[in-house]
Amino acid sequence: MFSWLKSPSNFLEVDLHSHLIPGIDDGVDSWDESLNLLSQLSELGYKKIITTPHIIQNYYPNTSDQIREGVTELNRLLAESDISIQVEAGAEYYLDDHFAKQVETKENLLSFGNGYILIETPFMNKPLFLEETVFNLQANGLKPILAHPERYTYLQNNMELVQNLTSLGVFMQVNISSLTGYYSKEAKQLAKHLIDTNQIHFLASDIHNQKHLNEVKSATKSKLFQRCRQLRLLNSTL
């Protein structure tokens, strides 16, 4: 039924944003829930899932090692259950002081693909040190991907800032469910603007649970999702 990946362009065979390690953030609650979601993702046609638990110093102070251990366990359970999909470790780094310091001191951060790193910011306010952190990441040879830019209210009314960020080399990752307005009308509008102006680089699921996956499945039937097939998304390069 949902066979978008069976088309020749196989444009979404890799997902780069999800919360599938139980008990370390606001994602899945159990290994079973995780396996269940991964089995459905495999049926959809995904080959590889880069899972990205939150790292937020005051709420989810996860470490690279903890996430790597979780991913090792997940791959072991997947092999045991004969589910044919591969999981890799990433993280969704919240731009707080702790992260800015880690970048400055060139700490070992979880990146994926050819040096990509997923970052998020507060929803309402742009961090003052956003551009500086982007610059420092790039100076360390990393390529920042901004998670769901369409959901930040500070970007929804500021197309100039959106343009500035892409000009600085920030990669934009839109959530698939934003294409139907699941998060908000404004998020859908900005997602559409990013598509119209060719400022979208990745589409991702950002699933935390079954409800999110259901939303992703229904979003694949939307017009905007179908338009994304024509874009040169970078998912399959990961």
Binding site for Fe ion (CB under 5 A): 92, 206
- Report the nearest approach of Fe ion to the CB of residue 211 (Å): 14
Give the nearer residue to Fe ion in terms of CB position, either 94 or 225.
Answer: 94
Give the nearer residue to Fe ion in terms of CB position, either 90 or 113.
Answer: 90
- Report the nearest approach of Fe ion to the CB of residue 208 (Å): 7
- Report the nearest approach of Fe ion to the CB of residue 183 (Å): 12
Give the nearer residue to Fe ion in terms of CB position, either 120 or 197.
Answer: 120
Give the nearer residue to Fe ion in terms of CB position, either 165 or 207.
Answer: 207
- Report the nearest approach of Fe ion to the CB of residue 165 (Å): 18
Give the nearer residue to Fe ion in terms of CB position, either 85 or 119.
Answer: 119
- Report the nearest approach of Fe ion to the CB of residue 18 (Å): 7
**Cα distance between residue 27 and residue 180, in whole Å:** 22
